[in-house]
Structure formats: structure tokens, C-alpha cells
């Protein structure tokens, strides 16, 4: 029974006001020394020069000397259900680890991710853990566990026979994604994933058919078109794993939101992506990590062909002007080490720290169609972090996270 008299209403929740006074504010586009930010509940109420943004009655003031305040970082490509392959190979994670174990580990991954300043993440496939990412997202939203705001892709789609794990042909084993083919099969699989909580549909537009083969296109153009049409009609974007020029071309023509990896991209395919408004999420940190797991001693050995080719394709992508999303394929390497992608882009792939920082905040928000975050401006979500130093000069400053606010609440 209600404890309120019939004529009374529950009291309105008290307004929480917080004034942040850092050394500088990076608003998602530009650095502003001497600015302050006022938060009301979970939103940004005011931002501007300190003299113009004052604390109203009842506001708490938090001075952040020497720190840069910036939007919470947006991770473009993660797998919270995976952990580094040098700990446990991918096949073994999919086949030998129970879903309960993987979810328990993922809760720790979510905590580490948020503590690293990532307040939003696209989680692009559970790799054999079914719809566990939907439950993880719900647990975060309900305040049961700490973690970033998640956009989840659930099972992901592969063409029959093209994914893994692959063992003996006599043994049928669970796959790391959902197999679907043809008109009826594809429509059913896309709708099933959406009905079970997918925010995003992820498709593998190319992959290896056999263990020692190169990647080749898997779905036909008509199949990819149908995946995008079915998902878009339900308000969901499609992202495509694609590393071959033809896989990338088909996915681009189908109208995906982003192409993940794009290792073999050519000038022609990047030009097409630019024309069609399809962004590239290059995931350079994943290839860097896997090469090191395979014995590459960075700084001592000649660069592996895989990394050399990646640098060449990234040069072509940069020349084309295609939009770049920032996402590292975290899970291949350690969750919480998300800044590794930003550091590599700035130090080895020719982007300026400012370009990387914009990509990690306002750029990702724009590409992923998240208009309520990624910038510090009035009315947007108060997802904010404070770091030591100036990340527009050195993205390594993003490792020095001293404060994390998610929806105006201090989580670190």
C-alpha cells in the first residue's frame, strides 16, 4: 500500500546541481581553457567561461586544477564477452567456457571499461554467448553493475560454413555467430536478433571459408541488401565485418553504417564509402595485438606484412576523406586498455591527437547516431571525464583518468 495520503503526491526528487571547474574543457571539437560546466541531474545545464557559469544556490562545486574535462569516450568496437587471445584462444573461449563464466568475466570487463573513461560502447557480437550482452546491458541500466551505456549486436550473422570454430567435419560444434542464408533465413535471423534485444545488426560480409585460406566474400549483394533493409525498417543500423575490397564494396552498396577492419581497402572502395556516407572503423589495435601474440617483437623485428598492409590501406582511407570511427576490437586485448587504439592512430597511422580525440567523442557520436552525447553542450547527457594534461597534444593523457561522470553521477 502507498504510504501517501490519497490527496498527496510523492515529493518530486531533489534537483542535483554540480559545478565543475577544470583547467580546460574540450567540448568534443575544441579546447577551451578557463571554462566551467554546470550539471543539473543527468544533463549539462550550462558551459562557458568561468565568469559566466556560476554555481546556483544548493550547487556543489568541484575544482579540478590541472585537469582537462572532456566528453566521456565512446568505444566503437568491443567484445565484452571475450578476453585476450594470449590468455585463452578464441576457439576455446567459444567452445570450452560456459556462458555463466563468460558473463561473470564480462561484468569485470564492463567495470574496467567505465573506469577507463569509456561511457558508451558498441559491443559487436557475443562470439558464441547468445544474447548474454542484452542481459549485461540491462544489469548496467538497472544499476546492478557498473559499466558503460551499451549498444549491443547480440549473435551477429554469418553465412553458413564461413565462420568458426572449425573442428573435424564429423563434429558439429556451436558457432561464434548465427548462420543464416537466403531470403527467408536472413529475414528470420535479423528479426530474431532484433526481437531479442539487438540495437545493431552485425554481418560478416567476408571471412575465411577454410583454416588456411584468405578471406573471401560470403553473402551475396542481394543478401546484404536484404539484411540492411530488414534491420533499417526496424530502426537498427547494420555494421559489417569486411576486410576484402569486394566484401567492403558489397557492404557499402547495401548501405551499412560502418565497415569494421577494412584491412584490404583500396582507393576505389574508400572513395565509394565516402560517396555513400559509410564510415570505417579500422581497429588497428587488434591487428597489432594479434601480431605480438604470434611472436612479433615490436620495436625489434621488421613489421609483419599484416601491419604493413594495414598502414598502406589506412593511408588510402585518409586520402579518400572517409569518416573514421575509433574502436579497437577490445577483447582481443585487455578491456580498460581501450586507449591503445587512439595511441596507435596518433603515433603510427598519421592522425593528429586532435583528430583522434574528436573521433573518440563527437565523431563516434555522429557516426553512431547518438545525438545526446559526445560533446559538452547544454542539454546533452552529463557523461564526462577529467584527465591529467592535454589530450589534444598527447592522446596518452587519456590514460590519466581522474574523474568519470555517467549521467551526472560520479562513478570514479
Residues 268 and 394 in one domain: no
* Contact yes or no for 253/242 (Cβ under 8 A): no
Question: pLDDT per residue over 168-212, tens digit each?
Answer: 788 889 899 999 999 999 999 999 999 999 999 999 999 999 888
Residues 43 and 162 in one domain: no
| Ranges 162-166, 202-206, 254-258, 398-402: which has the least confidence | 162-166
233 located within any domain: yes
Residues 130 and 204 in one domain: yes
Residues 91 and 212 in one domain: yes
Residues 243 and 131 in one domain: yes
Report, as an integer, the average pLDDT of 109-121: 98
Residues 333 and 388 in one domain: no
8 located within any domain: no
Q: How far apart are CA 14 and CA 401, in angstroms?
A: 29
* Contact yes or no for 89/98 (Cβ under 8 A): no
Residues 111 and 234 in one domain: yes
pLDDT for the residue numbered 135 = 98
With bands split at pLDDT 50, 70 and 90, how would you rate the model's confidence at 3? low
pLDDT for the residue numbered 319 = 98
161 located within any domain: yes
Question: pLDDT per residue over 4-59, tens digit each?
Answer: 455 556 666 789 999 999 999 999 999 999 999 999 999 999 999 999 999 899 99
1 located within any domain: no
55: CATH: 2.30.40.10
333: CATH: 3.20.20.140
Which 3 state secondary structure label does DSSP give 260? strand
pLDDT for the residue numbered 14 = 81
362 located within any domain: no
The residue to which cell 597489432 is assigned = 288
pLDDT for the residue numbered 211 = 82
Which 3 state secondary structure label does DSSP give 362? helix
Q: Which three cell numbers stand for residue 315?
A: 593511408
Q: Provide the number of structural domains found in the chain.
A: 2
Q: At what angle do helices 305-320 and 284-293 cross, to 10 degrees?
A: 170
Residues 50 and 187 in one domain: no
The residue to which cell 574543457 is assigned = 25
Question: pLDDT per residue over 322-340, tens digit each?
Answer: 999 999 999 999 999 999 9
359 located within any domain: no
pTM: 0.96
CA atoms within 13 A of residue 152's CA, in its CB half-sphere: 28
pLDDT for the residue numbered 8 = 57
Q: How far apart are CA 396 and CA 353, in angstroms?
A: 9
5 located within any domain: no
Residues 277 and 399 in one domain: no
Identify the domain boundary among 281, 314, 337: 337
Identify the domain boundary among 337, 359, 393: 337
Phi, psi of 389 (to 5 degrees): 90, -165
360 located within any domain: no
Q: What is the percent of the chain where pLDDT is above 90?
A: 93
Residues 84 and 193 in one domain: yes
Identify the domain boundary among 284, 313, 337: 337
Residues in CB range of 375: below 8 A, 6 or more apart: 27, 28, 29, 71, 361, 362, 365
Q: Annotate 159-223 with three-state secondary structure.
A: CCCCCCCCCCCCCCCCCCCEECCHHHHHHHHHHHHHHCCCCCEEEECEEECCCCCCEEECCCHHH
| Ranges 62-76, 207-221, 268-282: which has the least confidence | 207-221
Residues 295 and 398 in one domain: no
What DSSP line would sit under 308-340, residue for residue? HHHHHHHHHHHHHT--B-----BTSS-TT-THH
pLDDT for the residue numbered 296 = 96
Q: Which residues constitute the domain of residue 44?
A: 17-71+375-410
Residues 242 and 271 in one domain: yes
Amino acid at each position: 500500500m502507498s504510504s501517501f495520503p490519497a490527496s498527496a503526491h510523492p515529493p518530486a526528487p531533489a534537483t542535483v546541481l554540480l559545478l565543475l571547474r577544470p583547467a580546460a574543457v574540450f567540448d568534443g571539437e575544441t579546447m577551451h581553457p578557463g571554462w566551467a560546466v554546470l550539471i543539473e541531474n543527468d544533463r549539462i545545464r550550462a558551459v562557458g567561461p568561468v565568469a559566466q557559469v556560476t554555481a546556483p544556490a544548493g550547487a556543489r562545486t568541484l575544482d579540478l586544477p590541472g585537469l582537462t574535462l572532456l566528453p566521456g569516450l565512446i568505444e566503437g568496437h568491443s567484445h565484452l564477452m571475450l578476453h585476450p587471445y594470449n590468455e585463452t584462444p578464441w576457439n576455446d573461449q567459444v567452445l570450452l567456457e560456459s556462458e555463466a563464466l563468460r558473463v561473470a568475466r564480462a561484468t569485470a570487463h564492463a567495470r574496467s571499461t567505465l573506469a577507463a573513461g569509456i561511457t558508451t560502447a558498441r559491443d559487436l557480437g557475443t562470439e558464441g554467448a547468445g544474447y548474454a550482452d542484452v542481459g549485461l546491458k540491462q544489469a548496467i541500466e538497472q544499476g546492478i553493475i557498473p559499466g558503460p551505456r551499451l549498444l549491443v549486436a547480440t549473435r551477429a550473422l554469418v553465412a553458413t560454413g564461413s565462420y568458426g570454430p572449425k573442428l573435424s567435419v564429423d563434429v558439429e560444434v556451436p558457432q561464434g555467430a548465427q548462420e543464416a542464408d537466403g531470403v527467408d533465413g536472413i529475414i528470420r535471423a535479423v528479426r530474431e536478433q532484433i526481437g531479442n534485444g539487438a540495437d545493431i545488426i552485425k554481418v560478416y560480409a567476408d571471412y575465411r571459408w577454410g583454416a588456411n585460406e584468405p578471406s573471401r566474400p560470403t553473402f551475396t549483394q542481394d543478401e546484404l541488401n536484404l539484411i540492411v533493409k530488414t534491420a533499417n525498417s526496424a530502426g537498427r543500423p547494420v555494421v559489417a565485418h569486411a576486410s576484402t575490397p569486394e566484401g567492403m564494396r558489397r557492404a557499402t552498396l547495401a548501405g551499412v553504417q560502418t565497415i569494421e577492419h577494412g584491412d584490404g581497402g583500396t582507393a576505389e572502395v574508400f572513395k565509394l564509402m565516402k560517396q555513400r556516407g559509410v564510415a570505417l572503423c579500422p581497429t588497428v589495435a587488434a591487428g597489432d595485438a594479434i601480431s605480438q601474440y604470434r611472436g612479433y617483437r615490436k620495436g625489434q623485428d621488421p613489421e609483419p606484412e599484416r601491419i604493413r598492409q594495414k598502414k598502406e590501406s589506412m593511408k588510402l582511407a585518409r586520402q579518400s576523406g572517409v569518416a573514421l570511427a575509433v574502436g579497437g576490437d577490445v577483447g582481443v586485448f585487455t578491456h580498460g586498455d581501450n586507449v591503445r587504439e587512439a595511441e596507435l592512430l596518433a603515433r603510427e597511422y598519421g592522425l593528429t591527437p586532435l583528430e583522434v580525440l574528436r573521433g573518440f567523442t563527437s565523431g563516434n557520436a555522429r557516426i553512431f547516431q547518438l545525438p545526446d552525447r559526445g560533446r559538452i553542450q547544454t542539454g546533452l547527457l552529463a557523461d564526462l571525464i577529467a584527465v591529467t594534461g592535454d589530450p589534444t597534444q598527447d592522446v596518452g593523457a587519456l590514460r590519466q583518468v581522474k574523474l568519470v561522470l555517467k549521467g551526472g553521477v560520479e562513478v570514479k
